[in-house]
Structure 1
């Protein structure tokens, strides 16, 4: 099967906070077959995080954290990938995008 690879870049401004609880996978990646959310439990095996890089730039009591993730799948059909990322209290997402075939596409925020 073919392998499709996507790049996701994001930035968050984080206030100095204690570490988050490790009870839930963070980040969590789920896939919806054909982009359809049927209301059932999403499949976390259809797509995977192949690699993840993090850069941190400290700015006084805050830090700018940039994550770059490589997402991969062996499926030939189109799936919708949803990335859930738990942030510390007071953290703010300042932007994110998806690179497909070298073109950056702005992401959409879901609460």
Structure 2
């Protein structure tokens, strides 16, 4: 392959296909996307649990304040309770994920 302008169309296509085949062989076949997606999924789950706790606390506190006419008291109390419940749920999810990862890691390495 001396000069690309002098090659015919079929010769250029063959050369391109050969380069493409070599590039496909050199490319890694392991797909990291599934692993990264799984980690992002766990992170979003934890964020959602925390926000859900805050929102539920807000709704309950606002509802009680509206019913009793004591506007900020129950709202503040239940927002803090919702935050605490959300944090507790996130900690539980993190511990569950850690146990799962440790079990998978132990299964991969056997009795090392």
Q: Which has the higher strand share?
A: 1
TM-score computed with the length of structure 2 as normaliser: 0.19
Question: Bigger radius of gyration, 1 or 2?
Answer: 2
Q: Which has the higher helix share?
A: 2
TM-score computed with the length of structure 1 as normaliser: 0.19
Structure of higher RCO (CA pairs closer than 8 Å, 6+ residues apart): 1
